[in-house]
Amino acid sequence: MDLESKIVHIGINSDEKTGAISTPIYNTASFAHPALGKSTGFDYTRSKNPTRQVAEDGLALLENGSDGFAFSSGMAAATAVLMLYKPGDHIILTDDCYGGTYRLFSQIFINYGISFSIADTSSQQSVMSAIKENTKAIFIETPTNPMMKITDIASLAAICQKRGIQLIVDNTFLTPYFQRPIELGADIVLHSGTKYLAGHNDLLCGIVVTREKTIGEKIRFIQNATGNILSPSDSWLLIRGLKTLGLRMEKHNENAKKIAYWLNGQPHIEHVYYPGLEDHPGREIHNKQASGCGGIISFAVDNPDLVPRILSSVKFIQFAESLGGVESLITFPSCQTHTDIPEEIRHKLGITDKLLRLSVGIENYQDIISDLEQALE
Ligand SMILES: Cc1ncc(COP(=O)(O)O)c(C=O)c1O
């Protein structure tokens, strides 16, 4: 079955008794046992719930992994993944990543003895020099949030496999529709499902998909032990959103490409960061490992005074934190999503007071351009 069809058919035949096309919401905390020592396969919703399971199995299928897990947010998913590691372990984190991920490493897991180094994972040399004897994992985003840097997943996976290091990929920006890191050698894929997977700016959720059952079983244990789960109702919303993932991603991609080219020719735009542009340094690698560029564009204006003007002038595009929903949103990373990254690192990366991140929605692209045009005047 083609990926497009797999997406639409998530949950089909999940309720054999009634034949319901839409997955039922099993709003139950507990399940009755037929007899002592017997189970229907479901005992208690923290461990397993039929609605959540449809979402989890669906994502595992799309990412081509062994097991899928649904959490209450993307950060909850990342937390469960980092719980795989022990005091004394070291993890390499891509230098340009979502600010909340950096905060999780630098302000939470550091207190539990898990050290980390940041490295420019788009450079093999920089990764090699960051590897230590106790390095247990490399955690990347590609494209990165917000600078849209590209890491070669297959090459990094080969480095990791040789050294027994796990490769974790945050695949939020592209989703399995455009990029499937496990097929390229990654061990764990995670998502802020809040974004493109759910797609409608109406729920928070996180996803983990593992390459192998052995890691899957560890995540299952962590999820059940910590109670970090997606509710049945939110699982249903996720399934509902997922059904149109293919259509939405195509439209996000098509719109973003047009808008990136348009922005690139505007007088007050200093630089456009989008892997679909010819001058993007990671374009070749990106095209090798992904079938689309997604809907996120970051751009730097030529004067920081323009930033507050743009943010208060946009009417159609909403000035809000988040991305990946059907509505276009604009964000100021240095003051919003990336404030927890030290200023020195932010500036080195280009996350300055001139940088804006646009999450291109699925509206008519001319309306998005018209809004940007009047805001840039
Ligand atoms: C790339 C990426 N990963 C993880 C997260 C965290 O996800 P959530 O907000 O669902 O906790 C975000 C949030 O913006 C993100 O952009």
Distance 192 CA to ligand 1 centre (A): 5
Mean pLDDT of the chain: 97
List pLDDT tens digits, range 175-190: 999 999 999 999 999 9
C-alpha distances (whole Å) from 15 to each of 34, 53, 229, 283 are 19, 12, 22, 44
The minimum-distance atom of ligand 1 relative to the CA of 321 is: 14
Tokens of 1: 């079955």
Instruction: Say what the alpha-carbon torsion angle 94, 100, 104, 107 is, to the nearest 10 degrees.
Output: 110
Mean pLDDT of the 65-94 span: 98
Provide the percentage of residues in the chain whose pLDDT is more than 90. Answer: 97
Q: Say which DSSP state 106 is in.
A: I
Q: Which member of 195, 240, 257, 346 is catalytic?
A: 195
List pLDDT tens digits, range 125-151: 999 999 999 999 999 999 999 999 999
Strand order, beta sheet including 296-301: 269-273, 296-301, 355-359, 329-331, 318-319
- Decide: 98 in ligand 1 pocket, CB within 6 A: yes
List pLDDT tens digits, range 305-326: 999 999 999 999 999 999 999 9
- Decide: 70 in ligand 1 pocket, CB within 6 A: no
- Say if strands 318-319 and 296-301 run parallel, antiparallel, or are unpaired: unpaired
C-alpha distances (whole Å) from 225 to each of 54, 78, 207, 222, 229 are 21, 16, 17, 5, 10
- Of the pLDDT bands very low, low, confident and very high (cuts 50, 70, 90), residue 337 is confident
Name all domains of the chain by residue range, CATH numbers in brackets: 3-242 (3.40.640.10), 245-376 (3.90.1150.10)
Rounded to whole angstroms, how far apart are CA atoms 294 and 265?
20
- Decide: 228 in ligand 1 pocket, CB within 6 A: no
Instruction: Say what the alpha-carbon torsion angle 360, 273, 172, 98 is, to the nearest 10 degrees.
Output: -110
Is 195 in the active site? yes
Q: Which member of 26, 85, 98, 365 is catalytic?
A: 98
Mean pLDDT of the 331-339 span: 92
Looking at 268-377, list the stretches that DSSP marks H as alpha helix, in order from N- to C-terminal side: 283-289, 306-313, 343-349, 365-376
Is 170 in the active site? yes
Task: Decide if pLDDT at 355 tops 90.
Answer: yes
